[in-house]
Structure 1
């Protein structure tokens, strides 16, 4: 029979377990060369990765890079941070990086020597990383607080016409040079908004746009997100987000951080997290690198405004890359018409190159190729498909095979600098 003594013993066991876990997760994240090394006590192939306590600039400084941080007050009152990292600048073109959703510029630097900023910097490029509004480094506003519902009333449209525009103004005013913008996932969406809505400004500031996992159309998106975005589900998700988090979608809490630090210490849990993320973005488990994936699990997630995903939901359900739908009356007020206008993709006046994965649940071949085909022919600067049939959405940011992207990326950079483009590419791991 279940006794009081038994219950007391079990409570003591639970307390002991929590204490043990707290001791285990104290300090920097443990990483190893191979996942099997995690199970070898005192393995020389394991070490503590201090990326879990450093910001973007701090990580870049461990590479021996110089860093600068800029705070920008945007035209609509939001305050964002832009990170500049470089080694010895020998190249003429600044590179601006725009991160994806539910993360921040840390997503560009987790992979250490395989990170795009590291490779760019060591090739002499001046690298700038924008932290889009609402993320940990860009939660400021001249009059609103993130605890205010009104703070989160923005979509990727505002990120494009304000965040991207002001970042490129900063880069141009600092260097007096045109840049090349490299975006990942939502970072590509923001660049398409900017260059289609402000084509003249885009042409004055950019030599071209390079897109990893390009998200414009969402014609045949797969996985969990298209289900959540359905009209009979998403209003519930949106309502709960406003009720409990004031409009801040997937708010990072101390409890979440404690849990993910525990999960990061377990190889099995690493694969479990990757599988769950794969249900949203495309499953590809053999691409995980244990030398940095535990840190990714602990630090990847960042907040986003719920209306950003509402806008993506509208794009997905409506099968068109259009501006935000405010409803019939709201649309008349904003656009003087009942339906939101489509973004004028053919107005993009700079070269655009795309890199697409076959197993990407969001930036599918169908959706990305339609966007590319809608571009003006003079702006088509290469549509590259990764040969790896398992290459998914998140592989563009964290795959251990990231170096296969670097050579073709530099080829596109050189083409844009020289004013020439190749129509199509097939990227192999060979």
Structure 2
């Protein structure tokens, strides 16, 4: 049996290396994989500014700006383990940050605490456990309010557009629940793959880990691991080389198993580009909080156990977030094939939010969690709809009373052999 398993491992090893030998990457892909976000923006001919933002609890955040003074500001907030680069990697013709700038918006890209661009604190060194004592809760009550205030103070606008992906939506819902006064500063919140409830996910990997998440967090902390994955250039380079060149198929399989299978929209030639920027770093506690949400089937504050909960919250169990306080205009976008944001969970979220003006289940059936930022045809499948909703809100045509239900009618025309592009047409009912 051991000999058989060994043979299988050898065959997989050889297959991956053979495939890697055939695969060639464009020089621009390899170059962009090594560039940081500001360098990417400059390379493609856009102006860029770096802004340091101080959160009230001492974290020093970095925001990258594609400036257009006097234009309507838009704040983009990335997901877990991502950074500002997620809005940039597919280039000027596809990535959302560039498309917004081309349409005349003043674009702000936040890097939340703990990622590779926001790793400073006024009191704690990143090797101190206290530095990593945060989850999406702290992002919502500290990072987002500080950034919103900073943008408003540095522009002539009293409101801004907010676009969040995955954790960027979770932290916004926390801010709305705990600091509802900030909802008046949001012109429109657009939630891509919104994550609050996990009651209907059926991914076996998440369901297997969730019941043991508290024990796993304690285990990591007991051996001194507070960041996940630990930021280390050696490990980063090793992962980059292995997944880009040696085990490309295996790494693609793992990503699809965790995010949702959609090889049509996943450009595997961009793997080095993605791995050059991802994962960008976060805390073990962030994963722990999401694991608790899956296991408890509630969108609630962090569970420290009954004793500590009573000290912090006055009850044995953590309180639920008050989604009804999120009363700014909200647009929801979600996919049938997203392993982290199930359709029924997003629809429940839609019912509980205070002011949903647009609810869009994308009709492209394979749209997964990564397609919102890395899909080859994401501009046609999603972003064009978002631009229309933004325009309607800005002109006062879209309110809760005349809420729109967006659908994407997708057709597949005659294509040349080997082509996987889709044409899509937006219809708003």
**TM-score in terms of structure 1 length:** 0.84
Equivalent residue, structure 1, for 2:217: 238
Equivalent residue, structure 2, for 1:388: 364
Equivalent residue, structure 2, for 1:8: none
Equivalent residues of 1:270, 1:294 under 8 A apart: no
Q: Which of 121, 134, 142 is the matching residue for 2:101?
A: 121
Equivalent residue, structure 2, for 1:5: none
SS of 1:287's equivalent in the other structure is: coil
What displacement does 1:156 show?
0.6
Q: 1:128 to 1:141 in 2, by over 3 A?
A: same
Equivalent residue, structure 1, for 2:389: 412
Q: Which of 139, 144, 154 is the matching residue for 1:164?
A: 144
Equivalent residue, structure 1, for 2:130: 150
Supply the RMSD in Å over aligned alpha carbons: 2.3
Equivalent residue, structure 1, for 2:13: none
Residues 1:186 and 2:164 are matched in the alignment: no
Q: Distance in 2 between matches of 1:63 and 1:206?
A: 30
SS of 2:333's equivalent in the other structure is: strand
Q: Which of 121, 138, 142 is the matching residue for 1:141?
A: 121
Equivalent residue, structure 1, for 2:281: 303
Equivalent residue, structure 2, for 1:314: 292
Q: Which of 195, 202, 210 is the matching residue for 2:190?
A: 210
Equivalent residues of 1:99, 1:186 under 8 A apart: yes
Equivalent residues of 2:60, 2:119 under 8 A apart: yes
Q: Which of 155, 173, 185 is the matching residue for 1:175?
A: 155
What displacement does 1:179 show?
0.6
Equivalent residue, structure 1, for 2:34: 53
Aligned length: 387
Equivalent residue, structure 2, for 1:255: 234
* Structure 1 residues 284-316: Cα deviation after superposition (integer angstroms, max 9, x where no partner): 122222553321023211211111111111211
Q: Which of 25, 39, 53 is the matching residue for 2:22?
A: 39
Gaps of 5+ in 2: 1-18, 411-423, 425-429
Equivalent residues of 1:98, 1:182 under 8 A apart: yes
Q: Distance in 2 between matches of 1:47 and 1:310?
A: 37
**TM-score in terms of structure 2 length:** 0.84
Q: Distance in 2 between matches of 1:131 and 1:345?
A: 24
* Structure 1 residues 307-329: Cα deviation after superposition (integer angstroms, max 9, x where no partner): 11111112111111111122222
Tell which deviates more after alignment, 406-415 or 247-256: 247-256
Tell which deviates more after alignment, 234-243 or 121-130: 234-243
SS of 1:218's equivalent in the other structure is: coil
Q: Distance in 2 between matches of 1:303 and 1:48?
A: 22
Tell which deviates more after alignment, 92-101 or 327-336: 327-336
Residues 1:77 and 2:58 are matched in the alignment: yes
Q: 1:326 to 1:264 in 2, by over 3 A?
A: closer
Q: Which of 65, 74, 81 is the matching residue for 2:46?
A: 65
Tell which deviates more after alignment, 55-64 or 419-428: 419-428
Q: Distance in 1 between matches of 2:315 and 2:166?
A: 30
Residues 1:287 and 2:270 are matched in the alignment: no
Q: Distance in 2 between matches of 1:306 and 1:262?
A: 25
What displacement does 1:225 show?
4.8
Q: Distance in 2 between matches of 1:354 and 1:148?
A: 38
Equivalent residues of 1:159, 1:190 under 8 A apart: yes
SS of 1:209's equivalent in the other structure is: strand
Q: Distance in 2 between matches of 1:40 and 1:327?
A: 50
Residues 1:339 and 2:322 are matched in the alignment: no
What displacement does 1:146 show?
1.4
What displacement does 1:398 show?
0.8
Equivalent residue, structure 2, for 1:198: 179
Equivalent residues of 2:299, 2:320 under 8 A apart: yes
Q: Distance in 2 between matches of 1:290 and 1:194?
A: 36
Runs of 4+ in structure 1 displaced over 4 angstroms?
45-48
Q: Distance in 1 between matches of 2:194 and 2:314?
A: 30
Q: Distance in 2 between matches of 1:173 and 1:48?
A: 37
What displacement does 1:423 show?
2.9
Q: Distance in 2 between matches of 1:240 and 1:252?
A: 19
Q: Distance in 1 between matches of 2:29 and 2:186?
A: 40
Q: Distance in 1 between matches of 2:290 and 2:58?
A: 23
Gaps of 5+ in 1: 1-35
